[in-house]
């Protein structure tokens, strides 16, 4: 599944209809999957906690292993589905390889306050039927990590999403570094984020680097912690249209209750 894309004026992005294996339609008020734009190849040897989440056998979203049997991802990836429809792959850089481990989902939770990605609370947790024993997990950001959300903080987003807006998903795990954006800039770019502590932005004013379709649910990392979950945006890597992420510190209590 892809990061939710936003189309100015509220029109559906027709290109999203061509995402059979990777994503959600994106509109100005609806979230959908996103890929990594302007990034480089990454390895699960360096990021063992990043996982691919497939739906009925097709690439769907990214996720983050926060316990050996718990994957944090996005509610818009989970909505309308059951745990048994998901299979999670760990340690597989190349989606066409058979490397790594896999596990089916056994239980699925999404934030009950979730309505759409663009209105926040885009949090979900998938419990794995078979734990990924011995795999390093990533801690959640908490209320004591406010410094990680300061404008300009360097963060890294990872995923198997598109490498251009509307493009096909990536065969390989990709990563890109993007700075956290001030609340004022985020609110100027997207009115729906105003007053919503469950959302924040990251990216460059000039665009060029971003998460994209297919990256939805994947991790945004800073300071060795999961600070954000890929949620939605207006296209990918466009000037002054940053990626919007679910704020993990704000959602820590509801997420942790599922762990």
| CA atoms of 83 and 43, how far apart (whole Å) | 27
Catalytic residue numbers?
Answer: 76, 122, 216
pLDDT for the residue 140: 99
- Joined together, the tokens standing for residue 232 give 């939605």
56: helix, strand or coil: coil
Sign, Cα dihedral of 25, 21, 124, 215? negative
Alpha-carbon distance values, 2 to 137, 158, 182, 213, 235 (Å): 23, 13, 24, 4, 11
The closest alpha carbon to 205, from 237, 246, 157, 166, belongs to 237
Write out the chain's pLDDT in tens, 259 residues: 345 654 333 332 323 333 333 333 332 333 444 447 778 899 999 999 999 999 999 999 999 999 999 999 999 999 999 999 999 999 999 999 999 999 999 999 999 999 999 999 999 999 999 999 999 999 999 999 999 999 999 999 999 876 666 666 789 999 999 999 999 999 999 999 999 999 999 999 988 887 877 789 999 999 999 999 999 998 888 888 999 999 999 999 999 999 9
pLDDT for the residue 22: 35
| CA atoms of 158 and 39, how far apart (whole Å) | 9
Alpha-carbon distance values, 244 to 20, 114, 180, 185 (Å): 23, 15, 10, 12
Domains of the chain, first to last: 1-259 (2.40.10.10)
């Amino acid at each position: 599944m892809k990061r939710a894309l936003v189309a100015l004026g509220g029109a559906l992005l027709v290109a999203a209809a061509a995402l059979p294996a990777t994503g959600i339609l994106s509109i100005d008020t609806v979230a959908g999957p996103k890929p990594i734009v302007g990034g480089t190849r990454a390895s699960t040897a360096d990021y063992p906690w990043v996982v691919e989440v497939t739906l009925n056998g097709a690439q769907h979203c990214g996720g983050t292993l926060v316990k050996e049997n718990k994957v944090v991802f996005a509610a818009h990836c989970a909505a309308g589905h059951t745990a048994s429809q998901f299979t999670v792959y760990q340690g597989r850089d190349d989606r066409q390889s058979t490397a790594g481990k896999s596990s089916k989902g056994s239980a699925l939770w999404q934030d009950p306050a979730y309505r759409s990605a663009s209105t926040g609370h885009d949090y979900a947790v998938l419990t794995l039927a078979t734990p990924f024993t011995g795999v390093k997990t990533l801690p959640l950001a908490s209320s004591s990590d406010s410094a990680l959300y300061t404008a300009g903080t360097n963060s890294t987003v990872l995923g198997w999403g598109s490498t251009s807006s509307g493009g096909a998903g990536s065969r390989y795990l990709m990563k890109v570094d993007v700075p956290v954006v001030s609340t004022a800039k985020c609110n100027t770019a997207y009115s729906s984020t105003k007053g919503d502590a469950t959302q924040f932005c990251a990216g460059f004013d000039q665009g060029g680097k971003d998460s994209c379709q297919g990256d939805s649910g994947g991790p945004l990392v800073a300071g060795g912690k999961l600070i954000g979950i890929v949620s939605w945006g207006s296209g990918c890597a466009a000037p002054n249209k940053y990626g919007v992420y679910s704020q993990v510190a704000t959602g820590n209590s509801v997420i942790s209750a599922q762990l």
